[in-house]
Structure 1
Amino acid sequence: MTDNSRASGRGAGGARTLPLLSGTRKGLALLRTSDTGLLLLALIIGAGAGLGAIAFRWLIQTFTLILSGHDDYSGLGNVANPHVPWLGKWFVLLAPVVAGLLYGPLVYFFAREARGHGVPEVMYAVARKGGRIAPQVAAVKALASALCIGGGGSVGREGPIVQIGSALGSTLGRVVKVTEPRMKVLVACGAAGGIAATFNAPLAGVFFAMELILANFAAQSFGMVVLSSVTASVIGRAALGNEPFLILPEFTVDHLSQYLFFALLGVLAGGVGVVFTKVLYWIEDACDWAWRGPEWLRPAVGGLLLGVVLLLLPQMYGVGYPVLGNGIAGNYATGFLIVLLIGKVVATSLTIGIGGSGGVFAPSLFIGAVLGAAYGQGLNDVVPGLAGSVGAYGLIGMGAVFAGASRAPITAVVIMFELTGEYSIILPLMVAIVLATGVSHIMSGDTIYTLKLRRRGVDLSAPPHAEAMMGAPVSQIMEPTDATIGEHETLASAVAALSVSRHGQLPVLNDDGFYLGVITTRTVTEALASGDRDDDRVENWIDNTASVNADETIESVLVRLEDAQGPLPVMDPGLGVVVGWLSHQQLLTSVYLPRGSNPPGE
């Protein structure tokens, strides 16, 4: 072949390649920008989340079987692990240690976002990072959470599957290079698909993603999330069956008076949900304070303490659905139900505190179930003819405690309806959940998810720009002083100066130029109206207004500004002189409006 013919061949090959590349680019552009493309991405993510949920559940079962010797150890009592029968019941001291030795380094070296219960990290990624989640999070979270739960960690699987599905959605969005709003929708699609496939609850997956992850119910987002949830649920049912993850008793309301009992349970459950949240982070703080070694070793060393809890109360091993079911069925005495409640709060908090990986959704259901069952059994002892079945109170307690902890009432109602399939549950459930949510609002400004972020200085309720500005110095947003006045000048001079002042007040300086206070238009008006000419000097009418330093952070001066009637003078901390004003209007304009935007109405 001649050089010309080879060149011609390359040209022909290039000509064939160009349409292929052009078609690929057009296809990616269609996925990025069109509604059809978004629909297709939602389907793909739903399928991926469904398959991920199947793999995750298999990992949990496998590691539980390896580390405990049983499919689910929680309902068996202090039995031995058949793999190491010579250890007897004492193997539970070592199971969390072995699991921690495996997942501790995995999380620390490859994806530190995988530590903890997962949902706050997804909420933060959507609210502050445009939905971007590192692609390795899915694999690391699946392995770490499965090892943690299989080794006795008293946590749930919903947090991990939300993070796994969300990471899949984010990764696909980054590959296709979608815009930020679409990326957030894809992350929510992954979260919904994970919940739907794991719990066989497609509606709960949708509302969990919309209420907690996206925090809005936009029509297009809702449609895509529903599509992803349905796809994942179909795949999950094909592989795992169509049975609910919990077999619950039938629900009945025998007397109208029981609505009062359910309402009181809702109030109690709301308080328990808040207490669970507080204890969770209190124990995490205690673990942070006590641990001085390398972080990757913390789960293994802390696992020994968790093992002691499991030795005393083996019902806390893993998620504990069999124990939850027995509690609702009335198989435990009231006193033991209270022990299980306290044990679950402590075991879950300790699992998270030592660096474990797992969710808090299932533990909140567990706590609610045993609380409701204990409450129902107590009522049956007091008013046996009116109380009704213990199982009814257990079911209501499940939804109410979750609502009190997460403040997601819609999700709580929907998931309990899906678990039972009973329409009769709706009215009493709504009563209890609304009251639990209200009690939670009164007792705490944060939920079990948002408190983790607030402790890091992240307030999801504030605009991102405002959050970033809170740590900025006052000097960054202060207004310069327009004029000052000396303490020995007359009120007539003050009137002339105040007439051109922007804020109706002026800083008063002594003969050396140091700040003494302010004089206001109102004060001068009152002085002149009194007709007293013996004290017509400014020094006699100074208001001792609080001041702020230019190097203080905006967040640290908010209380003083809130209490002030007008703007606060800003001082140079080194020179002791006034250098500016900090006003309410300037704060709102600078902090809550991003740079380059106009205030409302302009």
Structure 2
Amino acid sequence: MLLAFGVGAAAGLGAIAFRWLIGAFTRLLSGFPDYAAAGHAANPHVPWLGRYFVLLAPVVAGLVYGPLVHRFAREARGHGVPEMMYAVARRVGRIAPQVAVVKALASALCIGGGGSVGREGPIVQIGSALGSTAGRLARADEARTKVLVACGAAGGIAATFNAPLAGVFFAMELILRDFAAESFGLVVLSSVTASVIGRAALGDTAFLRLPAFHVEHLTQYLLFALLGLVAGAVGVAFSRILYLVEDACDFLWRGPEWLRPAIGGLALGGLLLLLPQMYGVGYPVLENAVNGRYAVGFLVLLLAAKIAATSLTIGIGGSGGVFAPSLFMGAMLGAAFGQSAHALAPGSAGQVGAYGLIGMGAVFAGAARAPITAVIILFELTGEYSIILPLMTAIVLATLVGRLLSHDTIYTLKLRRRGVDLDAPDPHGLLRGVRVEAVMEPAPEPLDLHTALTEAADALADAPRGALPVVDGGGYLGVVAAGTVAEVLAAEDAPTVAQAVRRPAAVTPATPVAEALGSLVDAGGEGLPVLDQDGEKVVGWITDQAVLAALHHRSGPSPR
């Protein structure tokens, strides 16, 4: 509980700092608190560029965050949530501590420079990294570390959007993918703590200012249901287009990865020049749509442009979330749907804005298939209980459509494209928590670097694994293998071990066996030396047979 409280507090402070960074970089690079609402205004910092400064803003931002991400934390690229899902499901909650800082800077620069992405993905990654770091420092076990990661994610969402309930269910439904009672209590504690800190600094108001809505006619439920079906399809289309554009960018780009956001920023800048409403997150534009200030044709244009702008931002290597863009798309779709329904049936369609509000939750549900989170966050945004029933109707139908059209969500599709199926059994599950020290064998007698190779061949003939460590003055230098010795003997006269030594990937006693498997496969049956923490002394040897024995032991006896 103390750790959950501490992680919540850290996530709350991180959310405050992150929102400040977004505001600072947005003002620096655009000259406005939110350029999406400024039309084609010039940047007051460079008035001589006029509205054309938007061509350069993404480039300048990319020149800074591109090298930053490439050098220090490549997992900070993209929309972040899939990386946290993978860390919890496959890496026992291990997240590099530098991710929090790099993600905050990279995403703030990306959004401030016009990147059409949201802030929920970054804050989830920032909070999760803080939770993982707390678990590592406290030497928490696997289960508690995962819960702390979820605590950080919930705290970040709660403080950023002033939505403590949504933070809890986002973390449980998408990050942990589990609603165990103990985990739920700790995540709630963290979310409440972060929310209190966020409200103290940012105020006790929702991050969107929406008017009150209510259902006026029962016939509206049929319209809301139809909107849910359409929104589910739009959510899936957004998911597919996002990765198609990313594939196209991968195919076209041939330069260094660190330069990709800057060069790709020229294309993004061209889109922003045409539609400045795509600059950054775009909450003012979303509010205008829900309040009925745009015509149907313009709403449809904004919907298509947001899909293109978000996909392009992610495709060129930008850093930011897809939750806020999906809300934006849902607002455009719902407002256009509501205006059309009102034109056809003005007496029974009801308020246009209600459709925009429900569309927000439905598109997100269709893309992410997180219906509980979608319902809760829209309820927290409005405080209108009367809209819960139509909201639930549309969101459930959107979720069903999303499931029918696609096996994966917008988050899991990124992982599946890398060959990771979170619904499949964890291939390393039986080895979870097992360290190399538990399965390593005693270290074989090493060979001196200057030993004649003919003598080494005799020693290798007696070695059970066909490989021996090599030392020089007591310090570890590498490994010599029987196959390499045979090749060198055939090619050189009077060679020594020095001509045949190589340095394979080494592990320490504290290395998790699951992390050592890749290196062990590359060793080709010879095994790997286990070194002390300084890498100077061989303290053991790990082989594939030892790992198989550990697997057999943990899986239990075979059924008869």
| TM-score after normalising by structure 2 | 0.78
Q: Supply the AA of the counterpart residue of 2:555.
A: S
Aligned counterpart for 1:597 among listed residues 542, 555, 558: 555
Q: How does 1:92-103 map to 2 (within 5 A)?
A: 92-103=54-65
In structure 2, distance between residues paired with 1:330 and 1:319: 19
Once the two structures are superposed, residues 512-542 of structure 1 have per-residue CA deviations (whole angstroms, 9 ceiling, x without a partner) of xxxxxxxxxxxxxxxxxxxxxxxxxxxxxxx
Task: For residue 596 of structure 1, report the CA deviation from its aligned partner.
Answer: 3.7
In structure 2, distance between residues paired with 1:143 and 1:111: 11
**Which residue number in structure 1 is paired with residue 154 of structure 2?**
192
SS at match of 2:324: helix
In structure 1, distance between residues paired with 2:396 and 2:139: 41
In structure 2, distance between residues paired with 1:195 and 1:308: 32
Q: Supply the AA of the counterpart residue of 2:394.
A: A
SS at match of 1:410: helix
SS at match of 2:555: coil
**Which residue number in structure 2 is paired with residue 495 of structure 1?**
none
Task: For residue 595 of structure 1, report the CA deviation from its aligned partner.
Answer: 7.0
In structure 2, distance between residues paired with 1:227 and 1:204: 13
Aligned counterpart for 1:434 among listed residues 393, 396, 411: 396
Aligned counterpart for 2:360 among listed residues 373, 387, 398: 398
Task: For residue 75 of structure 1, report the CA deviation from its aligned partner.
Answer: 1.0
Q: Is residue 2:226 matched to residue 1:264?
A: yes
Decide whether the 8 Å contact of 2:430 with 2:555 is kept in 1.
no
Q: Supply the AA of the counterpart residue of 1:446.
A: D
In structure 2, distance between residues paired with 1:93 and 1:403: 33
Q: Is residue 2:420 matched to residue 1:420?
A: no
Aligned counterpart for 2:86 among listed residues 100, 124, 131: 124
Q: Supply the AA of the counterpart residue of 1:70.
A: F
Q: Which structure has the larger Rg?
A: 1
Task: For residue 281 of structure 1, report the CA deviation from its aligned partner.
Answer: 0.2
Decide whether the 8 Å contact of 1:465 with 1:594 is kept in 2.
no
In structure 2, distance between residues paired with 1:237 and 1:467: 40
In structure 1, distance between residues paired with 2:257 and 2:557: 46
**Which residue number in structure 2 is paired with residue 254 of structure 1?**
216
Once the two structures are superposed, residues 443-489 of structure 1 have per-residue CA deviations (whole angstroms, 9 ceiling, x without a partner) of 000000000000000000011128999xxxxxxxxxxxxxxxxxxxx
Aligned counterpart for 2:314 among listed residues 332, 352, 357: 352
In structure 2, distance between residues paired with 1:291 and 1:594: 46
Q: Is residue 2:182 matched to residue 1:220?
A: yes
SS at match of 2:36: coil
Once the two structures are superposed, residues 162-208 of structure 1 have per-residue CA deviations (whole angstroms, 9 ceiling, x without a partner) of 00000000001101110000000000000000000000000000000
**Which residue number in structure 1 is paired with residue 121 of structure 2?**
159
Aligned length: 442
| TM-score after normalising by structure 1 | 0.72
**Which residue number in structure 1 is paired with residue 410 of structure 2?**
448
In structure 2, distance between residues paired with 1:52 and 1:139: 9
**Which residue number in structure 2 is paired with residue 229 of structure 1?**
191
Q: Supply the AA of the counterpart residue of 1:462.
A: A
Aligned counterpart for 1:341 among listed residues 303, 310, 314: 303
Q: Is residue 2:12 matched to residue 1:50?
A: yes
Q: Is residue 2:272 matched to residue 1:310?
A: yes
Q: Percent of pairs identical after alignment?
A: 75
Task: For residue 44 of structure 1, report the CA deviation from its aligned partner.
Answer: 0.3
Q: Supply the AA of the counterpart residue of 1:95.
A: A
**Which residue number in structure 2 is paired with residue 563 of structure 1?**
none
Decide whether the 8 Å contact of 2:334 with 2:357 is kept in 1.
yes
Decide whether the 8 Å contact of 1:459 with 1:467 is kept in 2.
no
In structure 2, distance between residues paired with 1:397 and 1:301: 34
Gapped runs of 5+ residues in structure 2?
A: 432-547
Q: Supply the AA of the counterpart residue of 2:207.
A: F
Decide whether the 8 Å contact of 1:199 with 1:244 is kept in 2.
yes
Decide whether the 8 Å contact of 2:292 with 2:353 is kept in 1.
yes
Q: How does 1:293-332 map to 2 (within 5 A)?
A: 293-332=255-294
SS at match of 1:255: coil
SS at match of 1:460: coil
**Which residue number in structure 1 is paired with residue 71 of structure 2?**
109
Once the two structures are superposed, residues 526-579 of structure 1 have per-residue CA deviations (whole angstroms, 9 ceiling, x without a partner) of xxxxxxxxxxxxxxxxxxxxxxxxxxxxxxxxxxxxxxxxxxxxxxxxxxxxxx
**Which residue number in structure 2 is paired with residue 461 of structure 1?**
423
Task: For residue 600 of structure 1, report the CA deviation from its aligned partner.
Answer: 9.9
Decide whether the 8 Å contact of 2:430 with 2:554 is kept in 1.
no
**Which residue number in structure 1 is paired with residue 503 of structure 2?**
none
Distance 1:241 1:599, change over 3 A: farther
Distance 1:463 1:76, change over 3 A: same
Aligned counterpart for 2:110 among listed residues 143, 148, 153: 148
Distance 1:468 1:303, change over 3 A: farther
Q: Supply the AA of the counterpart residue of 1:392.
A: A
In structure 2, distance between residues paired with 1:161 and 1:77: 28
**Which residue number in structure 1 is paired with residue 166 of structure 2?**
204
Q: Is residue 2:44 matched to residue 1:82?
A: yes
Distance 1:238 1:601, change over 3 A: farther
Task: For residue 248 of structure 1, report the CA deviation from its aligned partner.
Answer: 0.6
Task: For residue 599 of structure 1, report the CA deviation from its aligned partner.
Answer: 8.2
